[in-house]
A and B are shown apart, each in its own frame.
Chain A
Amino acid sequence: MMSAQAQPAAGVRLAAVARDVTKRFGRTVALDDVGIEIRDGESHALVGRNGAGKSTLVSILTGLQAADSGEVSFFGEPAPALSDREAWRRNVACVYQRSTIMPALSVAENLFINRQGKGLISWPKLRRQANELLESFGVDVDVTKPASDLTVEQRQLVEIARALSVGAKFIILDEPTAQLDGPAIERLFDRLRALQDNGIAFMFISHHLEEIYEVCQTVTVFRDARHILTAPVAELGRAELVDAMTGEPGGLSVPGAADRPDVGEDSEVALSVENLTGDSFRDVTLRVRKGEVIGLAGSASSGKHQLAETVYGLRKASAGTIRVSGEKLKPGSVLDALRHGIGCVPRDRHHQGLVLGLSVAENAAMTVMNRLGPAGLVAPGRLAQVGRTAIESYDIVTSGAGQPVSDLSGGNQQKVVMARALAGDPDVLVLINPTAGVDVKSKESLLGVVDRVARAGTAVIVVSDELDDLRVCDRVLVMFHGQVAAQFGRDWSEQELVASIEGVTE
């Protein structure tokens, strides 16, 4: 351990405290004698790699699970009994990555679910209360609309408003920014600061370290189920923070494009997109040469995801052509894209990337099942071979090729998706948010793979907002409202790139 848990100054109220908490699942120790203290009105970051014990601590702090030993208290009072959900809700609320909103019910009902009042429900009154609540919070949505119509940003605000209206003064945000674009993140942070001024305490979980520096006052690092350090954010350098998370000095070593030899003009064009128009983008033309890595950046509404998904055939273009090595692809056919040598890491691994119940080997081989034997035969030996190769090449931590991917951590799951994309030795690799929600080590490993395949001559498109992901790119195209608005070479600076993504022009 690098330092003891921070000692609060006398007189500071503690919003939430966990002390000496230990939790085991079978033989696995999920939390080993850890502690955290969140002061009233502070924003406290909890960081650590996947598997560090963050989620377990969240479930203990929210009363979903009991600790094996140790104590939890809120504002000096011991935590209520596990069965008393109401009391927990008055103390703490958590906004998860996955929504806890019921999509078919109206916004108003979602806000007051299970507290609609005694006796018959008065719908006009419920709507009025909901309007008042959201108005006081500065959220402008129609409360009669079904919650499924909300944007991610609005949904989070509704969840926070709901928690506050129950009386919670301590809110846990689990990767709140993962699905938001730049301006929405800024708006969220502004709101967090305002709420903090009103005495609301936050525990903030994020893989995005810059955000911690922007919005948090204190940071606690967990690693391998242990508490590593707690320190004021202002006193902790980025390198130190990464060191604490990884347990290795040296920080994040993401490969940069500059380390690769230049891709000359004479390198063959692997992918060419001509005047492509589709969902949320129009008239896009771009060429990617063999061995070249292209970044596609832009806000969530820029159309970059849709463009990438169209190239892989997940969406159908309404006009224009996509060619791989000169051959035209059939629009909207993943099968045709695969046949012509395109591999893809889709936007969300849980949605399109993995079949959680199936093994590492089957997931990794899913795009090449037709190559494992004659007439569709999947020879078990060949399948296991694909699995083992994937585990070795992409550094997947698993008990074996036969383990279901549901047992793996997020970072390792993402490596399986990468393995699936690369199983057919594609000439063109399309990566959409390749490092979303993965820890620092996995990120290094995944971006290392991008560097490796580019050196071997694969053309790569990386769709991402993460600056770390874009460092590996030879060129970065910034999309804005469905069109390529700007292009940067290897020597882009953070400021100009971010400004361009946000649509700020000088």
Chain B
Amino acid sequence: MTKTLSPETATTPAPASGRRQPIRFARFRDLALVPAIIVLIIIGAIVSPTFLTIGNLTDVLQQQSALALLVLAEAMILIAGKFDLSLESTIGFAPVLAIALVVPATDQAHGLGTEWPQWMAIPLCLLIGAAIGGLNGLLILKFQLSAFIVTLGMLITVRGLHVGVSGGSSLFQLPPSFMYLGFEKWGGLAASVWIALIAFVIGIIVLSYFRQGRSLYAIGGNVDAAKAAGIRTNAVVWTVLVLGGVLAALAGILETGRLGAIGANMGEGMIFTVFAAAVIGGISLNGGKGTLFGALCGVLMLGLIQNLLTLMSVDGHWFGAINGVIILIALVLSRLTTGKAQE
């Protein structure tokens, strides 16, 4: 094995055993954003005394937990070589419809009059997310339509349903289960943070160490080769799209609970941040490349930047512009640190 080392790999410090080396190299690429995150933390500590407090950092994490779940969903879908824009509508519509089905049809509550038991709110919400993902899958895989345009259409449709069901107003009367997940702390950290974290840990393990997870990379890298290797590509992609819908619905529950209400525009414009975080984190838009850990780093980085801007009391009117510029800068930086062309 050692005699076949090529000149390039031979220059890296010799690992204890030759076969460990590729894995270490892959990890190194994964960690590309970690220095940037550390730099952000140092800057934060310098510019604001409140930045490094436990309270502030846990706040950052809680604010990012819904976004993190969306990025998790999108990252898996992108790795499998597909797209889902409709996630940003699912995050609002799934909780709205679920709540409307369980609350009374009064003027304040905006229920649909079904008044199903309150405990059904969360299962219903997740089921709605799954249904949207499943419908996307049907159109993309069975009817062989472009994922981009299907999910764009779905984005608009689902957003419209959201406005229709809620009558364009915000819902304040939430089922207790939503409030619990939004406010409860488990071991000092918000429940939503734990849920996002656990979802990521499971995702990272499955995508690294399970056949089902690895098949996403094979499908995204070369779908014909994956088919020829006996992978049931349509079933896998469909599962990922359904899972993406479920994760978006879960994100909707956490976000609704955290804010204590659902606005008629919840999630609007969020998909751009989701894509930015995924790409900054090293996920390729062409499929087959990137890791969930990298995507998580992308989320954390964007969250820290936003928090810094708030702490530096930047005028809120300029937030959008600054955020956009920072995303562009982060893309350039991650391009430089990973050294690979982004697609």
Contact = CB atoms under 8 A, between A and B. Distances in A.
Interface of A: 26-28, 312, 314, 334-335, 337-338, 344, 346, 351-359, 362, 366-367, 369-370, 372, 375-380, 384, 388, 391, 397-403, 420
Contacts of A377: 209-211
5 contacts: A314-B228, A353-B225, A355-B225, A400-B1, A400-B19
A229 B83 CA distance: 53
A334 to B, nearest CB: 5
Contacts of B221: 355-358
Contacts of B23: 380, 402
Given A335-B230, A338-B230, A401-B19, A376 B212 contact: yes
B214 A369 contact: yes
B140 to A, nearest CB: 21
B293 interface: no
Q: Which of A312, A314, A384, A402 has the most CB of B within 10 A?
A: A402
A241 B110 CA distance: 85
B185 interface: no
Contacts of B232: 335
B288 A357 contact: yes
Contact of B222 (A28, A355, A384, A399): A355
Given A27-B8, A356-B222, A388-B19, A314 B227 contact: yes
Contacts of A398: 4
B209 A378 contact: yes
Interface in B1-27: 1, 4-9, 18-19, 21-23, 25-26
Given A338-B230, A352-B224, A397 B4 contact: yes
Given A28-B7, A388-B19, A399-B5, A355 B228 contact: no
Given A354-B222, A401-B22, 19 more contacts: A26-B8, A334-B227, A334-B228, A351-B222, A351-B224, A352-B225, A355-B218, A355-B225, A355-B288, A357-B217, A357-B221, A358-B217, A372-B211, A376-B211, A377-B210, A378-B211, A397-B4, A400-B4, A402-B25
Of A358, A362, A370, A403, chain B has the most CB atoms within 10 Å of the CB of: A358
B229 interface: yes
A314 B229 CA distance: 10
B82 interface: no
Nearest to A392: B1
Contacts of B7: 27-28
| Residue among A356, A400, A403 with the highest chain B CB neighbour number at 10 A | A400
A400 B9 contact: yes
B289 interface: yes
Contacts of A369: 211, 214-215
B226 interface: yes
A352 B22 contact: no
10 smallest beta-carbon distances between A and B, as pairs? A402-B22, A355-B221, A369-B211, A366-B229, A352-B228, A376-B211, A338-B230, A355-B222, A352-B224, A399-B6
A268 to B, nearest CB: 25
Given A352-B224, A370-B211, A378-B210, A400 B218 contact: no
A314 to B, nearest CB: 6
Contacts of A355: 217-218, 221-222, 225-226, 288
A359 B208 CA distance: 13
A356 B286 CA distance: 13
B291 to A, nearest CB: 12
Given A355-B288, A388-B1, A376 B26 contact: no
Contact of A378 (B25, B214, B230): B214
B218 to A, nearest CB: 5
Q: Which residue, A338, A353, A355, A375, has most C-beta atoms of chain B within 10 A?
A: A355
Contact of B214 (A351, A354, A362): A362
Contact of B26 (A314, A337, A401, A402): A402
A335 B232 CA distance: 8
A379 B232 CA distance: 21
Nearest to B21: A400
Contacts of B4: 391, 397-400
A401 B217 CA distance: 17
Nearest to B11: A27
A366 B218 contact: yes
Contacts of B230: 334-335, 337-338, 367
A394 to B, nearest CB: 13
A338 B5 CA distance: 33
Contact of B18 (A334, A338, A346, A400): A400
A191 B216 CA distance: 47
Contacts of B289: 357
Contact of B209 (A351, A379, A402): A379
A205 B19 CA distance: 37
A314 B230 CA distance: 9
B76 to A, nearest CB: 16
Contact of A353 (B9, B22, B26, B228): B228
A241 B289 CA distance: 42
B224 A366 contact: no
A157 B210 CA distance: 48
A367 B211 contact: no
A350 to B, nearest CB: 8
Nearest to B215: A369
A312 B227 CA distance: 11
A362 B85 CA distance: 30
A358 B26 CA distance: 11
Contacts of A420: 229
A378 B6 CA distance: 27
A380 B4 CA distance: 21
A414 B232 CA distance: 23
Contacts of B6: 399
Contacts of B5: 399-400
Contacts of B225: 346, 351-355, 366
A503 B277 CA distance: 60
A396 to B, nearest CB: 9
Given A376-B212, A380-B23, A398-B4, A346 B226 contact: no
Contacts of A379: 209
Chain A CB within 10 A, most for which of B1, B23, B211, B227: B211
Contact of A376 (B210, B217, B224, B288): B210
Nearest to A407: B6
A374 to B, nearest CB: 10
